[in-house]
Amino acid sequence: MAWENELGDKLFRENMQNVAPTGIIQYYNLVIQSGSGATITDVEGKQYIDLLGSASAANIGHNHPHLVEALQDQISKIVSYDCGYFTNPTSLKLGERLTKIAPGSRARKVSFGTSGSDANDGVIKFARAATGRQYIVSYEGAYHGSTFGALTAGACDTAMVHKVGPLVPGIVHVPYPDLYRHLKDETPHDIAQRYFAAFKRPFETYLPADEVACVLMEPIQGDAGIIKPPAEYVELVYQFCQDHGILFAVDEINQGLGRAGKMWSIEHFGIEPDLISTGKSLAGGLPLSAVIGNADVMDSLGTSAHVFTAGGNPLVAAASMAVLDVLEDGHLPEKSAKDGEYAKENFLKLMDKYEFIGDVRMFGLNGGIEIVKDRETKEPDNDAAAKIIFRAFQKGLILVKLNGNVLRFQPPLVITRDQLDQVFTTMDEVFADLEHGRIELPDELKNMVW
């Protein structure tokens, strides 16, 4: 067996016996003991550089001392209390802070939850309530989460909806612009226009615009493979929304909080959204999410229409205050932008060397590296991507893939230059191993799902 870590392997298998398969995205047998900054240590003491960043939930790095201290301090006061009934100074401060850091200058209010998924359900509820309209337009390729509303709004993998229907009615999907796989000789302008025409088609055929509550969009699609649409397209959609009284909502759960080189990924487009869903890194991966929206929109739902026992509780609120301190004081969005450029240069150098790298997309420390069979046809090579991440794991990098063939590069934003250099040296070795046919996948890894 190609596994090197016996204890990890044993514990991994034990976990598979107890936890329902739906909760496990199987890659390799890593079992984590501890983490610090951009590194993770497994149960056998082996250290890895974390290029997954806990699925973009560890933007400030693992166990940041400021976060740990804030948690310890809060624990000594009160761990949790249902804020739906009675709030506390920490949760109160966080509510105010979140209304201030949302992009733009509008008056905002916030609604807390415990997962990105419930935040997107919230977006659907608030949008419907505020407009009195039923339809939601979202995107093919989107991942919005696992609760019913979020699941229905997403559209990235049939396995997610298989056997669980019926889903939520009134959600329509339109295609998301792709600057990589496009028609021959198309410019970004052509692509923006073609996809905007596709966006409008439902409105011209079966979807009355005055019955649409909101468009929900990831400004950069994460799980689809880190895909950024042309700015012109986003502007056209936003203008269409303005013209028809449709709210414009953005899912910042994966791409927000510095990940994409700005505090919020929608800032790449200079647009002020009406509703924002956020989560993941918001409390350093602890269960906290929020819908932040225009005050009048957020006032549209009455008591208990969107409230959760643990939503915004004092402990996660303390964590979130600490996360926001670290992001702001450490200028992590700016660091992400700068280091993202450095990472892009390095991946492009590797692309010069290895034909199987079809595209390098990098927006902040936030990349999708396409592994293809042929640069001309751009045919995805899922098998090669699986081999790469397996060898990377053996060499001390935690790396997974998106959409079958796209390497996911989302390290904690605190990753150092030395660590980044180590990553690129290792990736070069991994790619060379692939090129020379030196990677054999263990049988059980031949069916990696994502």
Ligand X SMILES: Cc1ncc(COP(=O)(O)O)c(C=O)c1O
Using CB under 6 A as the binding rule, whether residue 116 contacts ligand X is answered as yes
Between CA 263 and CA 259 the distance in angstroms is 7
Closest distance to ligand X from the beta carbon of 269 (Å): 16
Closest distance to ligand X from the beta carbon of 251 (Å): 5
Give how many residues touch ligand X by CB under 6 A: 17
Between CA 25 and CA 19 the distance in angstroms is 11
- Please provide the DSSP assignment of 96-118 as one string: HHHHHHSSSSS-EEEEEESSHHH
Between CA 407 and CA 385 the distance in angstroms is 7
Residue 449 has which token pair? 């799902």
User: Which one of 103, 145, 312, 412 is in contact with ligand X (CB under 6 A)?
Assistant: 145
- Which residues touch 348 (CB under 8 Å, ≥6 apart)? 360
Interface region with ligand X, contact rule CB under 6 A, candidates 141-149, 168-176, 291-299, 307-315: 141-149
CB-nearer residue toward ligand X: 25 or 78: 25
Using CB under 6 A as the binding rule, whether residue 55 contacts ligand X is answered as yes
**Residue position matching structure tokens 């200058």:** 105
Q: Could you give the count of Cα atoms lying within 13 Å of 118 in the half-sphere of its Cβ? A: 17
Between CA 68 and CA 289 the distance in angstroms is 19
**Residue position matching structure tokens 């005055």:** 210
Between CA 336 and CA 331 the distance in angstroms is 9
Interface region with ligand X, contact rule CB under 6 A, candidates 246-254, 327-335, 366-374, 390-398: 246-254
Closest distance to ligand X from the beta carbon of 280 (Å): 6
Closest distance to ligand X from the beta carbon of 136 (Å): 14
Q: What is the DSSP letter of 94?
A: H
Q: Quick check: helix, strand or coil at residue 39?
A: strand
Closest distance to ligand X from the beta carbon of 205 (Å): 28
For residues 120 to 139, the per-residue mask of contacts with ligand X, x marking binding by CB under 6 A and - elsewhere, is x-------------------
Using CB under 6 A as the binding rule, whether residue 380 contacts ligand X is answered as no
Using CB under 6 A as the binding rule, whether residue 251 contacts ligand X is answered as yes
For residues 169 to 208, the per-residue mask of contacts with ligand X, x marking binding by CB under 6 A and - elsewhere, is ----------------------------------------
Between CA 184 and CA 182 the distance in angstroms is 7
Residues 329-358, interacting with ligand X (CB under 6 A): none
- The residue nearest ligand X at its CB is 116
User: Which one of 42, 121, 218, 370 is in contact with ligand X (CB under 6 A)?
Assistant: 218
For binding to ligand X (CB under 6 A), which residues are involved?
Answer: 55, 115-117, 120, 143-146, 218, 222-223, 251, 253-254, 279-280
